[in-house]
Structure formats: C-alpha cells, structure tokens
Amino acid sequence: MEQADITGVVIVVVVGVVAFAVSRFATRHFAQRRAQRQQQHKAEADAPQSRQVRRANARRKR
C-alpha cells in the first residue's frame, strides 16, 4: 500500500469513529432530556390544584 492509500484509510476510520461517538452521545443526551421532560410533566399533572383552579375548571364544565 502506498502512503496515500494508508492516509485515506486512516481518515475514513477516524471519521467513522467520530460519527459513531457523536451518534451515541446525541442518543443518550436526547433520551435523558425526554425522560426529564416527561418526569416534569407528570409532577405538574400530579400536583394538587388550588381552590381557584378547581372552581375555574368546574365553571368551564358547566
């Protein structure tokens, strides 16, 4: 193999490894953010409502 061939192979391997690492990081990062968002929405939904909010909701239902 010539020097240019080896250089090309090294570049391709490095680009592949970097792309794989970025993909893994992004997948983990966005999955973690999605879990935090879902946990926050669940906490907001489970939170007790104030009397004012309950009365407003009851008024809307009528």
* Chain segment 34-50, per-residue pLDDT in tens: 999 999 888 887 878 88
Every domain of the chain and the residues it spans: 3-61
pLDDT in tens, 3-15: 889 999 999 999 9
**Residue closest to 49 by CA, chosen among 38, 60, 34:** 60
Integer Cα distance of 16 and 59 in angstroms: 60
What's the mean per-residue pLDDT of the chain?
91
Percent of the chain with pLDDT over 70: 98
